[in-house]
């Protein structure tokens, strides 16, 4: 569940203007976390070399692909409804190919072909290289599936096609898979075991993005703190002739690519994050002072049932250490309400932890049992849905209070903001993010997308800071 869900991008068609004269059209929608959006760029790159340009127009598409998420039941329900909407297109164009990629494909496998009759293609996260061959099979009149998980695949040699980035911010996947086996989470079953990319390829990709004019890179992994190159799980060097690299060292290598290249990372697991990472953040001004540190619950009893590997007290010490090193570091989290056997007392522990930390942002959900997880096999999903939702609303309300308080403290401050694009509410305004990942809205004036601007914060909402550009 260590995922930041890009709510504003869910289901939007991803697109990149191509200079190639490809004859076929790919319509690609992504759902779920940042890793899925990064994977879509890999898919687009593979298919670009096989005659496909991306399109935003469903009607002109030859191939429709949905890159899916299985983290919650709602995510799968959304995809199923989306598939139904393609029936008319499929009837009008019998040669149209419809495929399901990603975590939902991995979880459901061949059953997707049976349950969703219009689906021609099912491809798991480790099988994207096989897409050209699988498409040939479909064009030959047969359904096609490849959901084999790999212990080696990292796609390190594939240069992603940067979709909808505007040349400002680029994802760099540093590792794949997850070994943590949290009892509520399906990710280890859909994305396989952890494996890391060579730091040389990661740094090279960061340099390439910078040379192309990108202003920001985001290092991605299900658990970036588990990144290790030439190091085994016992923290032993595997080959003495090859330099070893852990995550704090990798983070520094990327920060040194260029002083004006902003660096972010996601996501961290509390039990694996070290002070070394925080010290590297403090050392390099271009590493953003923002950490996503999912707690999931404030009850040590529930955390143990979740197999999180830490207690409430331990997590609070981790927060204390971060804030001692970087006092202004923004911290966000994930919270699940209504996990198996969660009592009123357990839920109060969650509220208590929130009050002690006062997270800057939170991603909040009620528990959704996922097939094949440890929780599904061992525990009863015994908290009524109504209670789950009531607890979730209390968490949302409390987080809103904390967000308002944190945002209020920003009034009067001058913040460096990377201009990302137009504001949704006004064509006369831009929005962007500051070092601490706050969304900032301001009049355009003479700025443009990709600029760094200094914004004086004048007012706020629970989700947004509002101000004006000033000249220093």
Instruction: Give 23's pLDDT tier (boundaries 50, 70, 90).
Output: confident
Name the residue with tokens 């908290």: 383
Angle CA 260–455–209, to nearest 5: 25
Average pLDDT value for the chain: 92
pLDDT of residue 11: 57
Higher pLDDT, 151 or 60: 60
Whether residue 333 has pLDDT greater than 60: yes
Whether residue 13 has pLDDT greater than 90: no
Q: What is the pLDDT of residues 261-296, one digit of tens each?
A: 999 999 999 999 999 999 999 999 999 999 999 999
Q: Please give the DSSP secondary-structure letter assigned to residue 125.
A: T
Whether residue 297 has pLDDT greater than 90: yes
Instruction: Give 5's pLDDT tier (boundaries 50, 70, 90).
Output: very low
Q: How many CB atoms lie within 10 A of CB 407?
A: 20
Whether residue 2 has pLDDT greater than 50: no
Whether residue 203 has pLDDT greater than 90: yes
Q: Distance (Å, rounded) from C-alpha 104 to C-alpha 117?
A: 16
pLDDT of residue 151: 83
Q: What is the pLDDT of residues 358-395, one digit of tens each?
A: 999 999 999 999 988 999 999 999 999 999 999 999 99
Alpha-carbon torsion 230, 236, 239, 245, what sign? Answer: positive
Instruction: Give 419's pLDDT tier (boundaries 50, 70, 90).
Output: very high
One fold for both 165-288 and 297-409? yes
Whether residue 37 has pLDDT greater than 60: yes
Q: What is the Cα 7 distance to its own chain's centre? A: 10
**All residues at 6 or more sequence positions from 317 whose CB lies less than 8 Å from its CB, including other chains:** none
Q: What is the architecture of the domain spanning 297-409?
A: 2-Layer Sandwich (3.30)
Q: How many CB atoms lie within 10 A of CB 181?
A: 13
Instruction: Give 1's pLDDT tier (boundaries 50, 70, 90).
Output: very low
Pull the structure tokens for residue 280: 């590297």
Whether residue 346 has pLDDT greater than 50: yes
Q: What is the pLDDT of residues 427-444, one digit of tens each?
A: 999 999 999 999 999 999
The strand pairing partners of 171, in sequence order, are 218
Segments in 118-176 forming alpha helices (H): 131-139
Q: Please give the DSSP secondary-structure letter assigned to residue 141.
A: T
Q: How do the domains of the chain map onto residue ranges?
A: 7-146, 165-288, 297-409, 414-469
| Fold entry, domain 7-146 | Rossmann fold (3.40.50)
pLDDT of residue 372: 86
pLDDT of residue 112: 86
pLDDT of residue 125: 92
Domain range 165-288, its CATH number among 3.30.70.260, 3.30.750.210, 3.55.40.20, 3.90.440.10:
3.30.750.210
pLDDT of residue 3: 46
Q: Distance (Å, rounded) from C-alpha 367 to C-alpha 389?
A: 9
- What is the rounded average pLDDT of the residues 97-126? 90
- Contact between 186 and 372 under an 8 Å Cβ cutoff? The reply is yes
| Fold entry, domain 414-469 | OB fold (Dihydrolipoamide Acetyltransferase, E2P) (2.40.50)
pLDDT of residue 160: 83
Whether residue 12 has pLDDT greater than 70: no
Q: Distance (Å, rounded) from C-alpha 404 to C-alpha 323?
A: 20
Q: Distance (Å, rounded) from C-alpha 430 to C-alpha 419?
A: 7
Alpha-carbon torsion 256, 258, 260, 263, what sign? Answer: negative
Q: Is 346 helix (H, G, I), strand (E, B) or coil?
A: helix
Peptide bond preceding 238 in cis form (omega within 30 of 0)? no
Whether residue 100 has pLDDT greater than 80: yes
Higher pLDDT, 105 or 455: 455
In terms of C-beta density within 10 A (0-12 exposed, 13-18 middle, 19 or more buried), how is residue 314 classed?
middle
- Residue % of the chain over a pLDDT of 70: 95
In terms of C-beta density within 10 A (0-12 exposed, 13-18 middle, 19 or more buried), how is residue 177 classed?
buried
CA distances from 342 to 198, 354, 356, 469 (A): 42, 17, 20, 47
């Amino acid at each position: 569940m260590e995922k930041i869900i890009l709510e504003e991008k869910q289901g939007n068609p991803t697109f990149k203007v191509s200079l190639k004269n490809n004859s076929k059209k790919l319509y690609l929608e992504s759902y779920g976390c940042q890793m899925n959006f990064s994977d879509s760029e890999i898919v687009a790159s593979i298919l670009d070399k096989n005659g496909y340009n991306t399109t935003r127009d469903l009607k002109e598409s030859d191939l429709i692909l949905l890159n899916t998420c299985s983290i919650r039941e709602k995510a799968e329900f959304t995809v199923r409804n989306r598939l139904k909407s393609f029936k008319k297109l499929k009837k009008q164009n019998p040669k149209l190919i419809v495929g399901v990629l990603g975590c939902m494909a991995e979880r459901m496998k061949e059953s997707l072909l049976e349950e969703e009759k219009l689906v021609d293609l099912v491809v798991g996260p480790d099988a994207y290289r096989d897409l050209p061959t699988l498409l040939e099979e479909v064009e030959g009149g047969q359904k096609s599936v490849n959901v084999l998980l790999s212990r080696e695949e990292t796609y390190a040699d594939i240069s992603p096609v940067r979709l909808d980035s505007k040349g400002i911010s680029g994802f760099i996947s540093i590792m794949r898979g997850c070994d943590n086996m949290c009892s509520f989470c399906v990710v280890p079953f859909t994305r396989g075991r952890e494996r890391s990319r060579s730091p040389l390829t990661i740094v090279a990709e960061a340099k390439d993005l910078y040379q192309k004019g990108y202003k920001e890179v985001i290092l991605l992994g299900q658990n970036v703190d588990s990144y290790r190159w030439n190091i085994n799980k016992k923290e032993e060097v595997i080959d003495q002739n090859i330099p070893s690299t852990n995550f704090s060292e990798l983070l520094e290598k990327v920060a040194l690519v260029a002083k004006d290249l902003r660096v972010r990372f996601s996501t961290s697991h509390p039990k694996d994050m070290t002070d070394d990472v925080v010290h590297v953040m403090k050392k390099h001004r271009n590493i953003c002072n923002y950490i996503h540190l999912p707690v999931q619950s404030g009850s040590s009893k529930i955390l143990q049932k979740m197999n999180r590997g830490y207690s409430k007290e331990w997590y609070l010490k981790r927060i204390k250490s971060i804030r001692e090193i970087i006092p202004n570091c923004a911290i966000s989290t994930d919270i699940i309400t209504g996990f198996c056997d969660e009592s009123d007392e357990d839920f109060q522990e969650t509220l208590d932890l929130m009050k002690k930390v006062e997270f800057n942002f939170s991603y909040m959900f009620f528990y959704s049992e996922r097939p094949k997880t440890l929780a599904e096999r061992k525990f009863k999903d015994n908290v009524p849905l109504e209670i789950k939702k009531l607890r979730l609303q209390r968490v949302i309300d409390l987080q809103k209070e904390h967000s308002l308080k944190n945002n209020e403290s920003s009034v009067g401050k001058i913040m460096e903001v990377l201009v990302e694009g137009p504001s949704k509410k006004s064509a006369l305004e831009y929005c962007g993010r500051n070092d601490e990942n706050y969304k900032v809205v301001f009049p355009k004036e003479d700025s443009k997308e990709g600029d760094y601007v200094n914004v004086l914060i004048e007012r706020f909402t629970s989700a947004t800071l509002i101000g004006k550009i000033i000249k220093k």
